[in-house]
Each structure stands twice: as C-alpha cells, then as structure tokens.
C-alpha cells in the first residue's frame, strides 16, 4: 500500500468509527455486560435517531467503506441490517467474543429480508459491507466498556504469552543432533548469561543486572554476540513470569518482540534479461501499537481486542524489544529513530530495549531520549569456558553409548586447551555464534579445527550441508539427494537476492520464484524436483534456512547470509557492485568476506576501489571506505605488496582519532590497526586517552605490546582505561605488563574472576578494588589483601547475601560502594562509609 492509499484507508476507518458511534447512546453501564438492544439510539427512552437517520448513516457508511456511492437498494439493505441491532438477543460481551464474521451472521439472521430484491453482485456487496460494519461495531463496544476491555484483554494476553513462549523458547545450537529437533535446544538449557559494559566507568556486568531498573536501553553487539538471544530470553522470561531476581521489576509486563527486518511490505522485484534484480518498494517505518502484531506476522494478530496494544502501552505495561536497527536500510534509520523518540514520550512507563550492530548507529543515537547505551562484551575467558561446557553438556543429552560419551568428554577438554593456547582460535572464540561453530566443527572433525575465518565458514557449510546426513547414513526423506556444491549455489542465489534488495528476510513466494529462475542452470538440482520441492529440501535439510513466520524465510544467522552473499559476488566478479555500496555499514561483513574469498588480483582491484576518490562522495563515506580497506587486509591471503603499502599510506592519518567515538570506531578494524597507530610517547594526555580507547577495543593480546607504551601515564583517564580492559587479555601477562605498572592513586582496579583476584593478590593487592564478578565472602576475604584495601566497590548483585559483616576482615577499609539494588545491606562495620550508586 502506498502512502496515499494508507492515508485514505486510515481516514475511511476513522469516518466509519464515528458513524458507528452515532448508532448507540452516549451513556450506559461500562462495568458489566449490557444488552445491545438497550444501547442502540433508535429505540427506547433515549431515542435520538429516526428511520431516516438510519438510512443517512447507512449511505455514509457505504461511502466511507467503498469511497463511492452505491445503489439505493444496497443502502436500504444496510439500513435494515443496522435496525436489527435492536432485536438481537446478545450482550456486548457475547457479541465481542463471537468475532466479526459470526457477529455479521447474527445480523443476517436477525434481518433475513434485508437484502430482498438485490441483484447477485449487490447482495455480495451488502454482505461485505455487513461484515465490515460488524467489525467496527465490535471495536466500538470494546472501547466503550472498561469491563469488556479488561476481560477480553486478560483472555488474549494469556494466549499471547503462551504463543511467545512457543515461538521463542529455543536456540539453534550448531552440530548437536537431537532425535526430534536437529538444530534447536530449549532456551533454558542452552542460554548463557551475557556480559555488558558501558563507557561511563562502570565495570562489566551480567546483562540481566545491567538492564535492571532501566526503562530505555540501546544495546550494541557485533554479529553473533547474542543480541537476539537476549531478546528471546527476556520475552520468554516475562511471558512465563519466571524472572531472575534482578529483573523482578518486569513481572506483569507484556512483551512485544519487534524485529526491525519485518517493518516492511513485501517487496516487488523485477528482473532484467541477465537475471539481475531491481528493487522498488515502499517500506513502512515503525508500526503504530495496534499494528505491532500484524507487522511481525504474529499468526493470531486479528484476534487481539480492539485497542488492546494501545491500552497496554497507555497503562505502562509494555516491554518493547526492538531487535536489529542495523537491519533497516540506512536511509530509513532516521525515520526509525524519530519513532523511538516519539513513542516512549507518548507512552511513558514502558520498558524499551533496542538492539543494533555498533556500526549501524552513532554514539548517543538515542541519548536525548534518555536511552542508556550498553554494549555486549566479547565472551571473557570464563564465558568461553562456560559456553564450551554448556554446548557439550547439551550434546551429551542425545548420546547413550558410553564410548561416545567418553570421546565427547575428551573433545571438550582438548577444545578448552586449544582456545586457551592457540591465539588464532582464541581470537575466533569471542561470541556465542563463533564458539558454537568451533564446538560443532571440533566434534564433527574428531578434534581437528580449521584455521582462519574463511576456513571456519567453509568447514561449517560442509558440516551443515553434507557431512552430517552422510555420516549418519541418513537416507534423504524427501527423495532429493543434492551434493554440497549445488546446495551452496542455490543458497547463494537467495543470499544474493537479499543483498541486492537490502533485506535479511524474504517472502517465501519470492524465494521459490528465485530458485525457479536459477534451477535450469543447475541441472543436478533441476532433475530432482521443481522450485517448490527444492525450496522445501533446502529449508528442511541444510540447517541454514528457517521460516520465522508463515510466508517468510531467512537465514538462521545473518553471518551465513553475508558469507554466501560474498561467495555469490566473487563468483560473478561483481566487485564494482561491492565498491559502489562500500559506504553502507551493513555491507562491511560482505566486503571483508569477499576479500577472503577473492583471488590476489581481485583483492587488489577491490582494495584499490575502496581507496579511490569518488565524485560527490561525502567525506565521512570516503573515510569509511579507507578504514574498511585497512580492515580487509588481515583477510587477504595473498596480496600485491604495493597494494598493501598503499592501503597503509592512505589510512595512516586516519588512525589518529579526534573524538572518543572515532577512537571506538577504529576497534572494528581489528589487530591490523595496531600496526598503524602512532607512537603515543609524544602525544597529549587527551590523545593518549583516545589511543588507549582504540587499542583496548581490540581483544587480541598483541594490543598489550602497544598498551605498554601508555602504562606510565599520570592521566587518570588513561590509567582507568587500561585497568578496565584487563578482562580482555591473558590474565597473568596483562597483570605483569600493565596492571603492575599503573599508578594506583584514585584508581579502581577491576576484578571479574578468580584468576584476576589471585593475580592482584600476587601483585600485593591495591587500595581501591572494583569487584565486577560474583564472588563468595570467603573468596574475597582470602583473595583481597587486607592490609592494603581501603575502598571496595561491590559492583555485582548481592542477591540474598546482604550481610556484610565479613568486611570486618579489612581493618583499613573506609569506603564501600554498592549498587542501588543492594542498598538494604546489613552488618557493615562501624566507620565504613557506604555510597550507593545510581541506576
């Protein structure tokens, strides 16, 4: 629907609502069921309408619904139908529960002769009008009665909560073969608590704790960091009423899971003679509350009581989970931002969580609307260990043979050793997606792991597309037996369509049509079935596609879509296509993967294209392209040394950031930027701080060599930045080369796990310590150096352990900082000042 048509439809609906309201008296009970016959305005003691008025209203309703006049016979038939409202034996509660279709049938039975004498086409028109008006009548009845609205809302919310749990209470765990659900696992069993961090000096904290007490949060996370998983966890926990202690404040709220990729109409594509797709469609911005459920294709959206979503938001009961701002086209994000400014102001008291990849939105994107910005941290060493343990525990559930169980336990231990010892594997295992793939591949390949990003994804595709079924000696259940390469080619066609059209989800019919267009060129597939059969095979047997809602399809993870898109582009030699879109942040991963896949001369062409000046290019886009070229260098297996040198030359001046936002933005380039950062010895403290921000954004132990040159700075900002980055690096090496050398004055030293606690004790302790992980009192009294500790910040949720009498073990302690959630502590020793930090 184009904007003009949408506006006209909205105007028509408003006019119809006003006309329907005329049919009923203005007063009447709203706190109990009421007979419809007592509410109509054309009979009884409060009559205000005549027979002529009913004809007038019927004519106006016809014009409002059809936007044209109709035969007088149709108007008369509708007037007689409206008159039957005074004769049917229904109260408002029963009428609403019937729904529009059944209620319209009641009107037809009550006025059997209403359409007498109408021609067949007029009779059909009258029936359509009767049902449309019936829907508006039920909407009016629901809106007028608090009793009716509350009863209908409660019944619907119970069903809606059950559907939320059914839709989101599972995760994809790659490589675990379950008897009935090969790629999914219950959310409770597989969920790993994620850590978040801010730039405000607060230590990292579990996401549940960081979100507690906050009404508006913008959460950043790289691909695979777990943003959507966290959204699922929150939605399911709230729907079930089974909430962790920090999130008790969300109890009773109604979760709305709102993936941004679904805020659009189905696209209309046409193709030229070469099969290239040209996209031209209108896309919606953020939907209005009454359209939330239909926008995300909730199958029972039509069953929601009229005005329900708006009542939920007006009462401040909503939990709005807006997932994936980065999946909106760049030119539409400003409209999305305006909606995220306007809706929280219009409906105060609701809780908002908005997620995005960091590159898609700038810092402080929603700060003016009081959104707190949090970032999902890379998995810590303990987080990686916990994930690997969790993955293998889930895998054990499907194994009965003792030898297989022992073998799996051996894989678990060797993988844990590998990610600790092998730096390249440690760099890959930074988020749940990558950890899951490493676990699956390690088991699938009996302890052998590929090296590097390209090898990892190639191996993952091999595992998912071919080896799993073959090695399980599984016969194809659908009669289709495709080798790996044809399946990859077909999946690439779908991924390429999404890339060209700026989508991360496509209509099922479009997917089938796209496959049908390319099948003739892939005879091995064409011989085994038509596009519909091949589509079902790819959906059911590859583990890469899913149907998130009826009638739509997407990839199980955006990273697979990006990788297959890159393969398609490289095979088509369409590097100019990539270069033309390199200024768009959602193309970054595709371009980086294309460099990994391309031949040396193609890499050179692509990188030169990123560096080249472009007519009318905005300066920010030119800078983005050059930095992207630098980021691509680590993915190029073979490259002309002159091209590599030229990339360094063009980007050297770009790595002296002039703001903290720019400093953080350099982090996505990766370890290659460490080679280009300037010598920090002669720069100001302000610039040294920005350089420290950039270097600590790179979770690679090579950053320690650069940070060593900043460790002797007197600047508190530099020292605090270095201290706060400890958890990203090898504990003992960072302790010896950085922590041991930092001036301790007015500096909180963060401790997030037992290894760091032991390392800090080995260094003699520190006067001010920030405890960012959950410890027992025994661990803290043993690990902290009592003779030195003067200030302690317990920056984690104490839960029920609110007795702090154990602090008496620290005779020099004079200041204790606590979260506002832990304000009710007891047993604090005399003379210790307690400072409660805000939300």
**123-129-134-139 Cα dihedral, nearest 10 degrees:** 170
Beta strand extents in 84-168 (DSSP E only)? none
Percentage of the chain beyond pLDDT 90 is 42
CB atoms closer than 10 angstroms to residue 215: 18
340 pLDDT band (50/70/90 cuts)?
A: very high
- Amino acid 178: pLDDT: 39
Check pLDDT > 50 for residue 820: yes
675 pLDDT band (50/70/90 cuts)?
A: confident
Nearest to 688 by CA among 667, 706, 670, 703: 706
Show the 3-state SS of 708-722: HHHCCCCCHHHHHHH
Check pLDDT > 90 for residue 808: yes
Average pLDDT over residues 469-498: 77
Query: Which of 678 and 470 is assigned the larger pLDDT?
Result: 678
265 pLDDT band (50/70/90 cuts)?
A: very low
What is the tens place of the pLDDT at every residue in 706-749?
999 999 999 999 999 999 999 888 899 999 999 999 999 999 99
- Amino acid 279: pLDDT: 35
What is the tens place of the pLDDT at every residue in 540-574?
777 788 888 878 998 877 888 999 999 999 999 99
Which CATH architecture is the domain 157-265+279-377 placed in? 3-Layer(aba) Sandwich (3.40)
CB atoms closer than 10 angstroms to residue 236: 24
- Amino acid 13: pLDDT: 64
Q: Which two tokens mark 264?
A: 């659009």
Check pLDDT > 50 for residue 108: yes
What is the tens place of the pLDDT at every residue in 10-45?
555 678 888 989 999 877 777 788 899 989 999 887
Query: Which of 337 and 267 is assigned the larger pLDDT?
Result: 337
Nearest to 157 by CA among 239, 63, 37: 239
Query: Tokens 């709102």 — which residue?
Result: 258
Check pLDDT > 50 for residue 274: no
Average pLDDT over residues 437-466: 79
414 CB-side CA count, 13 A: 14
Check pLDDT > 50 for residue 182: no
What is the tens place of the pLDDT at every residue in 140-170?
888 787 777 787 888 899 999 999 999 998 8
- Amino acid 476: pLDDT: 57
Angle at 194 between CA 193 and CA 197, to 5 degrees: 140
Query: Which of 353 and 613 is assigned the larger pLDDT?
Result: 353
Average pLDDT over residues 775-797: 91
Domain ranges within the chain, ordered by starting residue? 3-144, 157-265+279-377, 748-839
Check pLDDT > 60 for residue 684: yes
Q: Are the C-beta atoms of 822 and 796 separated by less than 8 Å?
A: no
Query: Which of 275 and 113 is assigned the larger pLDDT?
Result: 113
Percentage of the chain beyond pLDDT 70 is 90
Beta partners for 35?
Answer: 91
Average pLDDT over residues 256-274: 60
Q: How much is the pTM?
A: 0.63
Interhelix angle 453-462/558-571, rounded to 10 degrees, is 100
Query: Which of 120-129, 195-204, 697-706 has the lowest average pLDDT?
Result: 195-204
Query: Which of 184-188, 321-325, 538-542 has the lowest average pLDDT?
Result: 184-188
- Non-local (6+) Cβ contacts of 700 within 8 A are 423, 427, 670, 671, 674
704 pLDDT band (50/70/90 cuts)?
A: very high
Average pLDDT over residues 516-539: 92
Mean pLDDT (the chain) is 84
Average pLDDT over residues 677-690: 92
Check pLDDT > 90 for residue 809: yes
Query: Which of 284-293, 566-575, 589-598 has the lowest average pLDDT?
Result: 284-293
Q: How far apart are the first and last CA of the chain?
A: 44
Check pLDDT > 90 for residue 814: yes
Check pLDDT > 80 for residue 839: no
Average pLDDT over residues 63-91: 87
- Amino acid 509: pLDDT: 95
Angle at 31 between CA 29 and CA 33, to 5 degrees: 75
- Non-local (6+) Cβ contacts of 138 within 8 A are 95, 96, 99, 100, 103, 306
Q: In sequence order, which ranges of 331-376 are alpha helices (DSSP H)?
A: 333-346
């Amino acid at each position: 629907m184009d904007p003009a048509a949408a506006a006209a439809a909205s105007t028509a609906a408003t006019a119809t609502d006003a006309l329907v309201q005329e049919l009923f008296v203005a007063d009447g009970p709203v706190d109990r069921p009421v007979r419809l016959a007592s509410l109509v305005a054309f009979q009884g003691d409060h009559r205000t309408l005549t027979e002529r008025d009913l004809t007038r209203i019927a004519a106006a309703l016809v014009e409002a619904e059809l936007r044209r006049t109709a035969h007088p016979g149709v108007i008369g038939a509708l007037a007689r139908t409206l008159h039957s409202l005074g004769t049917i034996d229904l109260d408002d509660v029963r009428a609403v529960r019937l729904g529009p279709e059944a209620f319209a049938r009641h009107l037809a039975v009550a006025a059997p002769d209403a359409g007498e004498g109408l021609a067949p086409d007029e009779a059909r028109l009258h029936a359509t009008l009767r049902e449309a008006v019936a829907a508006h009548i039920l909407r009016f009845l629901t809106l007028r009665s608090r009793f009716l609205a509350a009863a209908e809302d409660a019944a619907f919310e119970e069903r809606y909560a059950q559907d939320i749990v059914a839709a989101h209470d599972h995760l994809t765990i790659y490589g675990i073969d379950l008897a009935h659900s090969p790629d999914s696992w219950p959310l409770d069993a597989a969920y790993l608590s994620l850590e978040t961090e801010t730039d405000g000096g607060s230590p990292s904290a579990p996401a549940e704790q960081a979100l507690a007490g906050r009404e508006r949060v913008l959460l950043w996370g790289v691909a695979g960091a777990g943003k959507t998983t966290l959204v699922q966890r929150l939605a399911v926990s709230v729907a079930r009423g089974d909430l962790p202690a920090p999130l008790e404040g969300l109890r009773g709220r109604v979760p709305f899971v709102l993936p941004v990729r679904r805020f659009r109409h189905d696209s209309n594509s046409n193709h030229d003679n070469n099969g290239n797709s040209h996209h031209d469609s209108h896309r919606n911005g953020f939907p209005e509350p009454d359209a939330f459920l239909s926008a995300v294709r909730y199958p029972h959206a039509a069953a929601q009581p009229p005005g329900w979503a708006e009542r939920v938001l007006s009462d401040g009961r909503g939990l709005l989970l807006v997932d994936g701002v980065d999946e909106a086209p760049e030119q539409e994000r400003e409209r999305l931002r305006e909606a995220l400014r306007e809706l929280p102001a219009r409906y105060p008291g609701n809780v908002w969580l908005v997620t995005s990849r960091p590159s898609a939105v700038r810092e402080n994107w929603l700060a003016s609307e009081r959104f707190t910005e949090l970032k999902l941290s890379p998995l810590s060493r303990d987080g990686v260990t916990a994930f690997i343990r969790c993955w293998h525990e889930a895998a054990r559930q499907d194994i009965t043979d003792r030898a297989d169980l022992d073998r799996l336990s051996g894989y678990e231990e060797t993988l844990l050793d590998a990610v600790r010892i092998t730096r390249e594997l440690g760099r890959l295992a930074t988020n749940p997606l990558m950890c899951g793939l490493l676990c699956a591949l390690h088991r699938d390949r009996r302890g052998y792991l590929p090296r590097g990003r390209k090898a990892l994804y190639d191996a993952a595709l091999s595992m998912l597309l071919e080896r799993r079924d073959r090695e399980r000696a599984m016969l194809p259940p659908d009669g289709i037996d495709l080798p790996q390469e044809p399946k990859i080619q077909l999946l690439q066609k779908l991924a390429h369509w999404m890339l060209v059209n700026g989508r991360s989800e496509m209509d099922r019919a479009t997917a089938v049509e796209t496959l049908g267009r390319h099948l003739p060129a892939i005879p091995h597939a064409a011989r085994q079935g038509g596009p519909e059969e091949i589509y079902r095979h790819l959906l059911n047997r590859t583990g890469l596609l899913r149907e998130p809602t009826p009638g739509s399809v997407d990839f199980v993870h955006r990273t697979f879509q990006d990788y297959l898109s890159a393969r398609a582009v490289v095979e088509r030699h369409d590097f100019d296509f990539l270069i033309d879109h390199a200024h768009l942040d959602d193309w970054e991963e595709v371009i980086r993967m294309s460099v990994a896949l391309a031949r040396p001369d193609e890499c050179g062409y692509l990188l030169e294209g990123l560096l080249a000046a472009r007519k009318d290019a905005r300066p920010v886009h030119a800078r983005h392209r050059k930095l992207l070229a630098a980021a691509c260098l680590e993915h190029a297996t073979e490259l002309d040394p002159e091209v590599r040198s030229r990339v360094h030359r063009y980007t050297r001046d770009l790595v002296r950031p002039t703001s903290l936002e720019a400093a953080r933005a350099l982090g996505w380039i990766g370890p290659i930027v460490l080679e280009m950062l300037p010598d920090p010895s002669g720069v100001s403290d302000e610039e040294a701080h920005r350089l420290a921000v950039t270097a600590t954004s790179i979770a690679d132990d090579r950053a320690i060599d650069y940070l060593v040159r900043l460790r002797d700075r007197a600047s508190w900002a530099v020292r605090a930045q270095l201290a706060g980055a400890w958890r990203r690096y090898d504990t003992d090496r960072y302790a010896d080369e950085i922590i041991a050398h930092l001036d301790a004055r007015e500096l909180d030293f963060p401790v997030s796990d037992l290894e760091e606690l032991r390392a800090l004790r080995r260094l003699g302790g520190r006067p001010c310590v920030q405890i960012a992980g959950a410890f027992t009192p025994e661990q803290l009294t043993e690990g902290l150096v009592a003779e030195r500790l003067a200030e302690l910040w317990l920056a984690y949720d104490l839960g029920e352990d609110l007795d702090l009498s154990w602090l008496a073990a620290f005779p020099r302690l004079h200041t204790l900082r606590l979260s506002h959630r832990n304000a009710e502590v007891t047993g604090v020793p005399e003379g210790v000042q307690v400072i409660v930090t805000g939300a």
